[in-house]
A and B are shown apart, each in its own frame.
Chain A
Amino acid sequence: MTQKNEVRIGCGAGFSGDRLEPAVILAEKGDLDYLVLECLAERTIALAQKRKAADPSQGYDPLLERRIELLLPLLKQNKIRLITNMGAANPVAAADKIIGIAKRLGISIKVAAVIGDDVLEHISGDEIAMETGNSISWSGQTVSANAYLGAEAILPALETGADIIITGRVADPSLFVAPLVHEFGWSLDDADMIAKGTVIGHLMECAGQITGGYFADPVKKPVENMSTLGHPFAEVYRDGSAVIGKVDGTGGTITLATAKEQLLYEVTNPYQYLTPDVSADFTTVSLKQDVKDRIKVTGGSGSKKPSTLKVSVGYKAGFTGEGEITFAGTNALERARMAGEIMHERLNDQFPGLRVDYVGHTSVHPTSLAHDHKPYEVRLRLAGKAATADEAAIIGQEVEALYTNGPAGGGGVRKYVNEVIGIVSILMNRNTAKSSVVVKEYEY
C-alpha cells in the first residue's frame, strides 16, 4: 500500500447524460490521481437492464464508448486511475468494450469489473417494498434487482492495480471512499474516517452541481461562464479533511452556497446518511471558503454501517402514452383548456389518473401557486398509463385528432409511447450480495 498524504480525485460526470469535456479537462489539467465518473441513477440502471435483456452484450452506459475513447490516452499519459459505475447492468461487457477501444487505440490497459450487485437470483418476490409496504411482486413482474455495494467491493479491484475500475450498482460516495481507503489505509471499521470520506464523496458526486451549474440563477445567484462549466476535484488529506476546487480557467464557481446546496442534496436524514459503508452525520460537517472557488471541508462523523444493503428492484410497470399540442395568441389558455376538457371527457374513463397539464401556465405545479397571468402561448399535455403499448398510443392519437376536431388554432402535435420500468427498494442482508472482481487485460 502506498502511503500518500494527499490524494486528488476529480469528478468528471454527475449522471449518465453528462457532458464529456469537463472530464477531459480534469484529466488533462487537474493533476489528478483518480478520476471518478458517476453515471448511474436508480432509473438509469433500470433502463440498462432493459437494454441488457434485449441484447446480452449491452446494458452498460450508452456514452461509455465516447467517454473512454476521449479519456483513455489522457489517463495513461497522466497516470490517472478511473473509477466509474458506467458498467450499469453489465460491468463485464463494459470491460470488454473498453479492452476493444484500447486495442483500437493501441494502449495497454488493465480493467477490473466489480460484479455481484445483481441479486435477482436471490429475490423471491415476497420481500416487502419500502415504498409501498406490500410485497414486491404486488408492484408488477420483477425484472431486475441490484444491491448498492460499498467501498469494500471496490477495494479488491483497486488492489489488482487496474487502470480502470468499472462497477455496476454501488453507492455513489463509495466511488470516492474506496480510493481514499486504498491510499490512506483507513480501516473500513473506522466510522468517523469513512464518514469524512463519504461527506467528500457526496459533495463531489454530482459534478457540476457543486461548481455552480445547477445552482445558477441570473438574478440572485449569478454564475460566470456557464457554457464552459468545469467539474470539481477534491484534494483530500490523510486526516479526512479536503479542499474542493476546479481547474483554473473553467467556468462556474465554488462557494459556500453551492457547497451547502450539494451537502444537503437528496439527504433524507442529515443525522444518518446511510450508505453501505457507514451511517454519516452531516450535522457535524464544517464548510469554509478557502480562497475564490475553493472550499475547505472538515468534520463529519459516523457510526457503524448498516447490517443490510439497499436493493433497487425494477418491475414492469406498463406503458405511458402522451400527447401534446400548442395554442397561441388571444385566448390561447382558454382554447387549451377547452381542448384539455374535451380530452379529459374522452379519455378519463379509460385512463384513470390521466394528467392534463398546461405547459407555460400550470404544468409542473398544477396548483394555486400559479399567478393568474395570460400566457401568449400554452402547450396542452396529456399523459396516462396503460397496460399495453397499443392502448397507451390512444392518448397521442386523440390529441392528434384535435387538428381537425378543434378547438381553433392548435398546432405542433407530438405523441409518445414509453415502456415503464418502475423501481421499489428493499433491504437485504449484506452477506447475500457477494461481490467479486473480473480482470481483463490488453498488452500493446
Chain B
Amino acid sequence: MSIKLYDIAHSRAGDKGNTLILSLIPFDEKDYELLCKLVTADKVKEHFKEIIHGEILRYELPNISALQFVCQQALAGGVTTSLVMDAHGKTLSYALLEMCIELHAG
C-alpha cells in the first residue's frame, strides 16, 4: 500500500543561507522506525531532484523520534538574493510530505 508522508508525519522547513532544513516527525512515535527505514537521504534527493542541487545529510534523533534532513544548495542562493517568491523555502515542508512511501517495501 502506498501512502503519502503527509498521512503519518509532519514537517517544518528552516533555512540557513542556501541550506534547507527539513524535519520529519511521525504523529505516532511507533512510526519512527518505519520512517528511518523508508525515507533515506537518497529517497529525499530523488524526490527533490529539481529543487535541491547539493548534498543531503540525514540525522536521526531517537530521543524525540524525529528525522532531520539538511539539504545543501536548495534555496536559489538564499533568502536575501533569491528571486523565488518563497525565498525562505518555507513551503518545502509540504513538498516533502507529498512523498509517497510503500508500506510493504521490505
Contacts and interface: CB of A to CB of B under 8 A. Distances in A.
A270 B6 contact: no
Contacts of B12: 209, 214-215, 261-262, 264-265
A260 B11 CA distance: 10
Greatest chain A CB density within 10 A among B14, B19, B64, B91 is at B64
Contact of A43 (B16, B51, B80): B80
A221 B8 CA distance: 11
Interface residues of A, number: 55
B19 to A, nearest CB: 6
A423 B15 CA distance: 13
Contacts of B17: 130-131, 423-425
A268 B70 contact: yes
B56 interface: no
Nearest to B24: A264
Contacts of A359: 85
Contacts of A372: none
Interface in B19-35: 19, 21, 23, 25, 27
Contacts of B61: 264, 270, 282-283
B2 interface: no
A431 to B, nearest CB: 25
A133 interface: no
A267 B10 contact: no
Contact of A285 (B21, B23, B64, B83): B64
A236 B16 CA distance: 28
Nearest to B64: A260
Interface residues of B, number: 37
Contacts of B50: 366-369
B3 interface: no
Contacts of B21: 264-268
Contacts of A262: 12
A5 to B, nearest CB: 26
Interface string B32-72: 00000000000000010011000000010101111010100
A46 B80 contact: yes
Interface string B59-98: 1010111101010000000111101111000011001001
A286 interface: yes
A354 B10 CA distance: 33
B80 A421 contact: yes
A269 B59 CA distance: 8
Interface stretch (A32-40, A339-347, A377-385): A377-385
B84 A220 contact: no
Given A267-B68, A364-B85, A366-B50, A220 B6 contact: yes
Interface string A354-380: 110101000111111100000000000
B10 A221 contact: yes
A287 interface: yes
Contact of B92 (A43, A215, A261, A365): A365
A136 to B, nearest CB: 13
A63 to B, nearest CB: 20
B82 to A, nearest CB: 9
Contacts of B6: 220
Given A317-B80, A355-B84, A421-B80, A261 B10 contact: yes
B51 A365 contact: yes
A383 B83 contact: yes
Identify the interface centre among A264, A286, A357, A422: most chain B CB within 10 Å of its CB. Answer: A264
Given A257-B10, A265-B14, A367-B50, A220 B64 contact: no
A414 to B, nearest CB: 13
Contacts of A215: 10, 12
A287 B64 contact: yes
A369 B95 CA distance: 7
Interface in A221-254: 221
A60 B53 CA distance: 37
A299 B81 contact: no
Nearest to A367: B50
Contact of A220 (B14, B18, B27, B83): B27
A365 B91 CA distance: 8
Given A268-B70, A369-B98, A261 B25 contact: yes
B91 A270 contact: no
B75 to A, nearest CB: 11
A299 B61 CA distance: 14
A432 interface: no
Nearest to A384: B83
Given A264-B61, A355-B84, 4 more contacts: A220-B10, A257-B10, A285-B63, A420-B81
Interface of B: 6, 10-12, 14-19, 21, 23, 25, 27, 47, 50-51, 59, 61, 63-66, 68, 70, 78-81, 83-86, 91-92, 95, 98
16 contacts: A43-B80, A261-B10, A262-B12, A264-B21, A264-B25, A264-B66, A264-B68, A265-B14, A266-B21, A267-B21, A268-B16, A299-B63, A320-B83, A357-B85, A421-B80, A424-B17
The 3 closest A-B CB pairs, nearest first, are: A266-B14, A264-B23, A367-B50
